[in-house]
Structure 1
Amino acid sequence: MRYATIPAVALTALMTASTGAAWAANDTDDEIIVGFATAKSGVLQAYDQPAERSAKIAIEEINQSGGLLGKQIQILDADTKSDRNEGVKAGQAVVDEGADIVVATCDYDYGAPAASVAQEEGLISFFLCAEDVKAGIEGIGPYAFSPSILAAVQGATMAEWGAKERGIKTGYVLVDTSIDYNKSVCYGFDWMFPKVGGEIIGRDTFRNDDPSIATQVTRIKNLPQPPDVIMLCSHNPGGAAAIKQIRAAGIDVPIYGGSTNDGNYWLDAVGGELSNFAVPVQGSIYGDDPNPKVEEFNKKFEAKYGVRPSSQYAYPGYVLIEVWAKAVERAGTTETEAVVAELEKMREEPTLVGPRTFTDELHHQNIGRYLIAEVTGGDWKIVDEWTISEPVPMEILFSGVQN
């Protein structure tokens, strides 16, 4: 498999060939090209790297099995440097070098620039693991997809599981407003928690780079009664900093988070041995996944890269290549419209970490099975699994619940 790392060049004013001509040329080439316009450096690297590595394992497996449409898949790499402006350049760079599909950064806000380039050039884009609904038809266009489960489903999962399995009746919502993913997690919690008899007794906001959330912590401590749970909708490093400050203030109630808080890599930043913290995950990196194929994958990942996956965000990268390759095989071509049509026919399509469904209205999953991972004494363990009782409605995915 050929890997090519190319510089992120500036946008060109005009393409040298029309989009249709590019499709025809790619279909007659002897290879199929996947262009990764992702974060090889910067804050987003922690999320992009495991997913990208997993996607490359899937590509390697396909090539070893004879390729896709009888062709070997080649890889192009361009670094977004966790910067939106660099994302445009990286996306254009892989397109200019002949990519048949553009793989964008895990997060919508940072991945949208590269995905938008693909949309403009008539190419399919897949975010590595973005979980905001705009990382698809709604924010990019009809050729954009994400293999992951929507962020709102994470919040809804923790609300319903917490109420039905842990007896949670009151909650305090603390949302990091720096990216849309965080807000979407809390939209899901806000929607589901009242439906299962829960009461939200307070809410507050902060930003990921805030040096202190002392004011917000004080407001929680001053409540007449502590909440049964704090729903923390954030990502690291700000999420870890918030947890540290909450626990340092002597607030020991359960804290629930989104999937971005999976993994051991950030626990030292909290200090001490964290307990009573739970998140939803698509698969377990800890060796206790109920699906043995996931642990087989973890070992394959470790054998190739020398480390196990650092978080559950490794798995969507593998899934995106699974579903895209199936669609290409069924279409018999890499031509965009034909592959999109096959993707939109998928209903409960089996993947490494559970079924995937795409339609002409939604290129994400608004319902899905999650494992519940919980930290006790600094150690993660899968304690349950949960599928929400109904899909998150489109209006919640877009605007949340206004209280």
Structure 2
Amino acid sequence: MDNDGMTLFDPQEDGLDFFESLEAMRVELNDATVIGPYGYEIPVRIDNGPNTGEVVTETGGLMLTERSQNPQRILIDAKPSTPLKTGDRFVGPITGIVSYSFSNYKLLPERLPDIVPAGLQPASTRLMQDDRKLTVASFNVENFDPGDGQRIDQLGQAIAVNLNHPDIIGLLEVQDNNGEKDDGTTDASESFRVLIESIRAHGGPEYAFTDIAPENNKDGGAPGGNIRVGFLYNPQRITLTDKPKGDSVTSVTYGAQGLSLNPGRIDPLNASFDDSRKPLAAEFEFAGQQVIVVANHFNSKGGDQAPFGGAQPPVRSSEIQRAKIAAIVNGFVKSILQVNPKANVVMLGDLNDFQFSETLSLLRGQELTNLIDKLDEKERYSYI
């Protein structure tokens, strides 16, 4: 975006200065390709020729990497007449004025050309059920509650079919039984029930669930929603070991007999978790082996300065809390391995940070392997 602290105006080198040099000017984009779904604007890229350093995914998305935040991406400030997906392409030039609002440069188009769809379909896992192999998934269900209507059916199909009904699913952002009604309700048993029924309706197994309800409005998210992390698990394949269930304020530990609570929260009264989700550890048994799975939902990037904002480099203040959380969770892993160096530990969830970030480095430490590092660079993403 900028490599000189905004001390020089350098459109040849700085993305910020390049777009500033075009502000209020009429420009044309040729062969723009959509790089993400429509939100408030349409994100696109154009062919900038070879040697740009871009990392383009197989589906046509643009990878954010440690090397670049992709200042060449362009936002078109318009609402399309039909839904757009990653990889869709505009068949004609887009002409309009360059503007700036909400810390982003945007193109105000005179009209939108027709779209050639890329035909992108929701992905499905290649992993298959196997008596000797445990399948574990992570799924942010985005403020899910029993009143979510069509989303209930969509999530049920995604889990039963696209994810091939994993043995364990760490769920994130499950709201309480009455969603964002702020009346003190924290129980989410009905939220889990309707999701489990939808999975069954799409041919999946009869999942069981476990969670710990947060203290009312103490874990962030929408007021009254009481989002939490929790687990679905297939009792025909695995067992949730028989231990006392923890509560919202008691910390779980690991000893010679495994977890002290099942499930149990990691250090829930630590100030580092203020207004954020507390990690939840659960102990399962599969094929005669103990498996510890920890569901996480680290604090969000809310409050960070924008990449195209007036402060360069932008301050990412939210990283301070995530670094503290990551260190605490890694410390919990250390405590397990001190007792049992051969323990099976799976860390999953929405960590709200990038694969190359300090947050992930602190969480991984010397004890864990970040499986996304095993993928080709074009595949190292989980969200657009």
> Which is richer in helix?
1
Q: Could you say whether these structures have the same fold, taking a TM-score greater than 0.5 normalized by the shorter chain as the test?
A: no
Specify the structure having the higher radius of gyration (Cα): 2
Q: Which one scores higher on RCO, CA 8 angstroms, separation ≥ 6?
A: 1
Q: Return the TM-score normalized by structure 2.
A: 0.28
> Which is richer in strand?
2
Q: Return the TM-score normalized by structure 1.
A: 0.27
